[in-house]
Structure 1
Amino acid sequence: MNAPIFMTDQTTSDSGPHGSRVMGPSELLRILRRRRLIIFLTIGLIVGLTALVLQTVTPLYRSEAIVIVESPEAPGDDPAATVAKARENEIRVITFLQLLQSRAMAGRVVHDLALVDDREFNPGADPDKPAMVEPSFWERLKSVFTGSDPAPATTAEPPQPIASTPETLREAVIDRLIDNVSVDQINKSNMIKVTAYSVSAEKAQRIANKLASVAMLHQIEKRENASEETVASLTKRVAELREQVLEADERVATYRKRHGITQGMSDLTQMDRLASELAGARATRADAEARSSTIGAASSAGAAASPLLADLQTQEITLQRRIAELSAMYGQGHPDMQNAKAQLSQVQTRISEELSRASIGLQAEAAARRSREAQLAGEMGSLKARALQQGVENVALMDLERDAETNRTLYVSLLSRLKELERQDDVGQSDANFISRAAVPLSPSYPATKRILAVALVASLVLAAILAFIAESMDGRIRTSEQMESLTGFPALAMVPEKPENWGDLPPYVAIIERPCSAFSEALRSVQQELAARARDNAAQTVVITSPLPGEGKTTLSMSLAAAAAATGIESVIVDLDLRRPGLQNMSEQIAAGPDLLDFVDGDCAINEILRWDPRVPKLAMIGVKRAAKDPGATLSSPRLRTLLEELRQRYKFIVLNTAPILPVRDAKLLAAQADEVLMIAHWAKTPPDAVRSATRILGRTLTGAILNRVDYKKHAGLVYGDAIQHYAKYSQYYGETAPEDAETTSEPAAPAWRQLLSGLIRKAA
């Protein structure tokens, strides 16, 4: 018959060398689940303590303002200009960064926000009033239940002022403000982040914005003051230069007047002009003379000198050509010929007169040219003499003019600069502007409650897991059949549950009959079936039951095991051989009546006189002991006891011998030689593993099996050891507490159905 879920799985493929499971992921999860109480307590303790500590910490709020330092105008393609602009931009950022970090700006913030009178920066600002502090955790907790606002607590005595003098007090407040402010450049860019910390969210915002604002205002004021000073200085200097220019011009004019030096064309220029005119006059005079000398000899020269002469010469040629034609045609005596000759003579006379007149004109022109040439030569000589004289006088004049020109140039330059400054409209601007002003923070930045609690949670999880594994490794209690098998080296036949509390005074061995569907009954029946499967040829079977220590429940289990066999129709007998602390009499009232086992060993009665029966379990005989034996060893070695056991083997098919614990005494080992099976009982989660090991060594090869007794199925299932009982909650409905006679009155035959379902579950588990 297949073993039910109470039987131990004989497969050991997942077991280590000592019977413990291989530490895989599933086993790790089971360990964590088994030790969930330690885990929850550790997590709750650490997270709770962290939360309590966080409640005692004064929160700090952080507010950030971001400003940008404007870059100079974009450079052109010139690399040198690009480098210069980049350097200028870097200097601007560093300058404004240092300005924000200066004590001067912190001092202005202290003044503008009146931080000297603020209790955060000067706890002794108002010595006449007690210092107000944050409400305690218990006050806040009380307010949650009462619904009222927590009243802030007050100190018994006001704190002492920071300093005794206004100067040192102000410096101390500035130091505290600097400690509560940080200024950082954002990733080497033109942007600067101003961060302020305070116990008040609004105050943190005001400080961050105020610090950036006063730095910008400081730049504006400095530039305006510098511009005003520059304009005033330039105005004064321009006035002074104007006076100097006027004085220099006056000195030049006086010198010119004294020495008769005009400001017109210079002598050298005039000499150059006269030389040019003189050369022209000479050339004109030479030409006139040349034409005058050749005018009588060459008519062409005269024609060139007079247009009328040229016209007359043309008429002369025309008349000569006509006379030649007329002479050829008519001869010398023709009237036309005579008329033409008369006209020719007349024209020639006029030509002679015109030549004479042109010659006289050319001679007069030549005389005039010579006169002009002489005049120009005279003026040229006069200018040369004058130039030589003024060359000496101009040395001092040029010095005066250079001085005047220098003053004039400087005056014009400064005047242009002054006009430029007066036209500038960006003098009152700062290098920096706000990108984003500081906002009122909605939650404190310190302590970072969520982050700290998250870290505390993670740390507590790690610590809880470590503690869980430590507790698991240090747990010396036997909880699984696998552990029992590892300790004994023999199969664990079952894990027998604790007797149900709702049974009341009903003896367990009777409950085997009256509560056959209970987990307790099913477990004992599975043990009996396993032992029956081991029996040889349906022969009588003697089973010795012992335990390492007292209190393991072996007497109850022995009696119930015999009753389980009797419930299946097997004639069974239970013999109480715990002669030092007999317990069978406490379980059955029938034991107390008549002689007992010791009387039989002493020869005072027969076997039939010591046999007892409970009418509720008719096939179960009981042999008990009403008192402790004087010499248990002698009793167990008595021939009459061996005779009794031989007789019982003749009468009964299943014999259970309840013996004393093996560690205190060796009675079980003495009886093991006369038994077919020797079973050792261990109390679930109570019997020490060392006791089981010692008991196993004592029994040696005579031990044939082990049983974990008094198992809390619900608790064991909650510990998730991975065995069949882990699923107890899913199949617990298969166990009923209904008596057989009650089951018969139901509309459905429950017992056969339960048996069929249980048989299927047994086969699956096997």
Structure 2
Amino acid sequence: MQQALTANPQFPPPAEAPAAFNSGGMLPADNAPVTLRDLVRIASRYRVMIIATVLLVTIPVLAQQLLSPKIYQSTTHVQVELIDAVGLNQADVASLNSQRVTNAVRLHRSRTSAARVLDDLDLINDPDFRKEVRDLSGTRDEVRQRATNTLLSMIEVTSEPKSDLLQVSVSSRSPTLSARIANQLPESVGAVRNAIITERRKKLLGALEQELELRRKAAVVSSERVAQFRRDNRMLVGAGGIEDLSQLNQIAAAAANASSGRAGSAARASGVAAAANYSSTATATSAVLDQLERQRAQLIADRSRMAPTFGPNHPEMVKVTSQLAEVDANIRIERSQARANAAEMNAAEAGRMTGLAQSEMARDAAAAGRLSGIAASIESKAFENVANSVRLAELVRASELSDKAYQSIAERLEQVRAQMQPEGVSSSVVSPAVPSFDPISPSPVKTTLFAILASLMLGFMLAYIRELLDDRLRTAAQVSRHFNLPTFGMLPLIPREALLEDPNHSPVILDPQSLFAEVARSAYSDVRGLQQGSGCQVVLITSPLPGDGKSTVSLALAAAGAALGDRTIVLDLDLRKRGLLQQLQESIPTADLIDLIAGKIELDTLIPRHVPKDAGDDEIGQVLVLSSNRKVDHPNSMISSRRLIKLVGALRERFDLVVINAPAVLAVRDARTMCDYADHTIMVARWGRTTSEQMRAALQLVSYQTSAVIFDHVDFAEHARRRYGDSIQFYMASSDYYTLPPTAQPGSGFLGRRRGAMVGGVPRAA
């Protein structure tokens, strides 16, 4: 690409170039960005394409604007009801409100809403709307489809960020129709929303009722399974769980209590029987004994009272003593009787207590036995219940799940029934539309200006893209930037017929004041400037592809050397195809190159070994060409032969400059072999055809043994028109320095005359 590529660091720096170059000489490598001047040059280079782009875009737009009918627009503003919740996250509320507005916009743009407007306003039968649809042929569904599409194209719904207002704009050829549609759309949207919600809830209600019935039946079946399992396994509610264990523990505790009571009763019975033998009767008493004890005490008291007064023999004392003895005897008798009675009573009480203890023991024993049996039965049933509890738990869980599912569906059904009442729309019209009789389109001036600006931008874009994609070489700056090589010349176009004549009749020799001659001499001086020291110089001329003009460059350099008085010869080693030099070989009386290499002709007989500088005009100032006028079967063997090397050495002794015309580098490998024969290699690029990739590949194949580049077939008029910013751009002002060669015929018309002047009077070659 011409402007985008930069200097490639893989190419080594060239040999030191002369101080001045010819037209289009090497410019310094430039890594600067594209400037405004470069953009102007690109625009000038492709101005025809840019103008064509502008015309192709602007003319249809202008025609469309002039032929389009007037369009009127009416606008309705709709406010969307937002969520205004207190205590919630405001970011979440804002997100929900934004989603509500977005959903409202989408609903206003939906086909369903448009179809509802068609029905509400009966637009298909409206004359104004039928003008909008135009094509009303086909079936009813097809007409309705086209009408819906037309209505959607007329409607524009927009919303501003962070606003709850929708702007519904309708454009049509009738201002009243646009206002009617704009005002009807929000109502139709609300009706569509309510219809959709109602229909959805009806479907949901029917589905819930069916599901509820299924869940009810499933719950009944599950409950019946639980009851049947309890009946079959005689498991009451709580059986198989903690209730069985609690009941078993209670019965076991009662049985243990009864067993302990039986043991206690037995011990008590034996104790009572033993205690009867150990009961004391010493303290046994009775009422009589108590009376006697009181009487004795009274007598003792009387005796004690009378003793100090009366003696022992006193009658009163004797009486009292006698009474006291009688009472003591009675007391002894009564105490014995009391003790006997007490012993009998103790024995009777012991027997009674023993009987009671034995009765309680029998009762506790019976209770303990019965409770043990009950406990064993309950324990057996408890283990059975535990075994059945797994299945019972499974049935109970299934029953509970069925009950919960039934309750959930029932609650959901009640909610849906409660929400079946009609709901208000979530948006309302705050500013209805009114007919506007000011058309919004067409606007030819504004639209055409916009089309011109847009097409200009498109044209500039296409021009810049084309410039970027075009990697054909045209300037010395490109060669320097891409390959770090100097450019020794930019040879203008000349007629091919002028080169098929005797090389001594070259325009370089016959018309030294022509532009072609000036460029050739300048290139020759640059080539000779590559040589360090004196002596003969061998220069190899090659190109990336055949037809790039290497034969023209070879003849031009040789003619320029001859015109300057040097001894020059062109050695044509492009033997694989019939070219310009082989055609010249047939037209001039010169020995055949193959005969010279084969030794059939001696070089000394053709060219003297030492030709002095001041020899006659017959030797000095002539261009010699050595080529072959017949086909070579094995050119590669001939090129690598020692005789050819010897021939080149012999030519070094006889000439100041030997120009070797080599085959194209990308075609065959001959040029790579010939680089060893030459002092310098010049690569020829055809102006506007050789690409940078071709040149890079060619330089790689010759191992970058290239000293410079020469352009051929340069169209100076086209080059100047493209305005690359080099010296050729200003050749129009200096064209008076060059003469028109006799063989040149300028083109007809203004363009042809301009090109003739631009190239110094040299017309474009065929």
Shorter-normalised TM range:
0.3 to 0.5
Q: TM-score, normalised by structure 2?
A: 0.46
Q: TM-score, normalised by structure 1?
A: 0.46
